[in-house]
């Protein structure tokens, strides 16, 4: 594997990002309704290229992270939210997730953030261990928050304080 670089997403990344989105998630990590095979777009009005950092190797997009302001009002300024992090199945186990989380921290500090938050399914132990290795701690649990494939799924709220 070549060198991994991280950059801001551009419109031309949409098809590669959609391909990752549709294949990287399963019921233990994401929402099956969001990976329906008839989905044709990745970017949305709320979540355009400027909300994404992408990892690429040799010019090929292999992962992304969606980083957004958590709150739309001044009292919540400085709190960012990771609203998705995915790595292509073919690139897993190579440290791409860690590289993206380091980029999140760098971007958050550049933006003057004081805290980064995220949600992770209780069933997604691999992701939770990754986040914890990067200094995220559990701030709460939302029991039985979702019903996925007929089963209740808890969601954990994790955060990393930057100040």
Q: What is the pLDDT of residues 116-138, one digit of tens each?
A: 999 999 999 999 999 999 999 99
Average pLDDT over residues 62-69: 98
Structure tokens at 73: 């009002």
35 pLDDT more than 90 = no
pLDDT for the residue 10: 98
Q: 27 falls in which pLDDT band (50, 70, 90)?
A: confident
> What does the mean pLDDT of the chain come to?
96
Average pLDDT over residues 9-20: 98
Average pLDDT over residues 54-60: 97
Residues in Cβ contact with 21 at an 8 Å cutoff, skipping those fewer than 6 apart: 34, 35, 39, 42, 84, 86
Q: Cα separation of 110 and 107, whole Å?
A: 5
Q: Cα separation of 163 and 154, whole Å?
A: 29
Q: 38 falls in which pLDDT band (50, 70, 90)?
A: confident
Q: Cα separation of 35 and 58, whole Å?
A: 26
Give the number of other CB atoms < 10 A from CB of residue 70.
17
- 3-state secondary structure at position 47: coil
pTM: 0.95
Q: What percent of the chain has pLDDT over 90?
A: 91
Structure tokens at 40: 């044709």
């Amino acid at each position: 594997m070549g060198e991994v670089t991280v950059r801001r997403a551009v419109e031309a990344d949409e098809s590669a990002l959609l391909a990752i989105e549709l294949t990287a998630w399963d019921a233990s990590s994401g929402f099956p309704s969001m990976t329906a095979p008839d989905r044709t777009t990745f970017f949305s009005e709320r979540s355009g290229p400027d909300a994404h950092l992408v990892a690429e190797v040799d010019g090929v997009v292999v992962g992304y992270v969606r980083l957004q302001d958590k709150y739309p009002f001044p009292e919540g300024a400085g709190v960012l939210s990771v609203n998705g992090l995915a790595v292509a199945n073919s690139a897993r186990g190579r440290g791409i997730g860690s590289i993206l989380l380091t980029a999140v921290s760098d971007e958050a500090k550049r933006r003057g953030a004081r805290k980064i938050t995220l949600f992770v399914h209780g069933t997604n132990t691999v992701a939770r261990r990754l986040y914890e290795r990067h200094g995220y701690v559990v701030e709460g649990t939302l029991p039985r928050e979702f019903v996925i494939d007929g089963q209740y799924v808890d969601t954990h709220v994790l955060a990393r304080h930057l100040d």
